[in-house]
Amino acid sequence: MQNSTISSYGHSVWKWPIISGGGIVLMLFLVMPLPTYASGCKILCNAWGMVGSWVDNIMSPPAVKQRGRWSRGVLRVPLLAQNPILQAGKEVVYLGWMGCEKTISFQVNVTGNGKTWATSTTSAFVAIKEADFKFEADNDYEVQISCSGQQIQSYTLEVVNNILDYLPNGKEKELNERLRESSSSLETQAAVRATWWASQGRQYMLEAYQQIADITELQVIKVGLESGTRPPQE
């Protein structure tokens, strides 16, 4: 089933059919207030367009089938797979992955800067609070995830003081300014920021994930990032 896009009362509304447990079809709605000023429309309209195209891709039948196969297959951590860079100073750092669907438990270990954090969970997702383990700038951290003590995946995560220094363009500052001026909801702003970060390169997908991982209304984007799906390029 294809999504449809409609506009009313100055909003752009995307909706997608989702097959839930038991084969019940639900509708996911993502409502985005359109910018009302000409000066900021280019960067915001491009960003909004990327969000819609990206979610279309995430919810396409081939992508849904592929995620189903992956969830039953080997452990995959696309968020950490290609030299991830993370901005320091976060109160919570979120990690998510796919695979080992029927596993009894996952083990997660993070080491770096002379410290270690470890946990076991039955969910393919963890939230690491700063009070428990602090990701400090100018340090590399090793992240190891395993399912039932068998399949083990290890990655190196670089934490930096200013992630914007790594980007070739200065659009992030302008995007944030336009979002504030647009009076968009916090959920909408988070969706746009996540999409923008993910479009910059695979090393920024973890940073993108931090924007939306704890927002219930944006779980479709969370799932997309966990499976390694990226939005179209700017």
Percent of the chain beyond pLDDT 70? 79
Strand pairing class (92-96; 125-129): antiparallel
Hey, which of 26-30, 104-108, 113-117, 228-232 has the most confident mean pLDDT?
113-117
The reported pLDDT for the residue numbered 7 is 40
Fold of 72-160: Immunoglobulin-like (2.60.40)
Higher pLDDT, 233 or 105: 105
Provide the residue ranges of all domains of the chain, joining segments of one domain with +.
4-68+185-226, 72-160
Strand partners, 154: 144
Mind giving me the DSSP string for 133-190? ----TTEEEEEEEEETTTEEEEEEEEEES-GGGG-SS-HHHHHHHHHHHHT--HHHHH
Tokens of residue 162, six digits: 């200013």
DSSP state of 94: E
CB 92, CB 62: distance < 8 Å: no
Strand partners, 93: 128
pLDDT beyond 50 at 16? no
Higher pLDDT, 191 or 168: 191
Measured over all CA atoms, what is the biggest interatomic distance in the chain, rounded to whole angstroms?
55
| Residues 134-165: tens digit of each pLDDT | 999 999 999 999 997 778 999 999 999 999 88
Residue 127 banded pLDDT, cuts 50, 70, 90: very high
| Contact partners, residue 232, CB within 8 Å, separation at least 6 | 50, 53, 54, 199
| Residues 176-188: tens digit of each pLDDT | 777 777 777 888 8
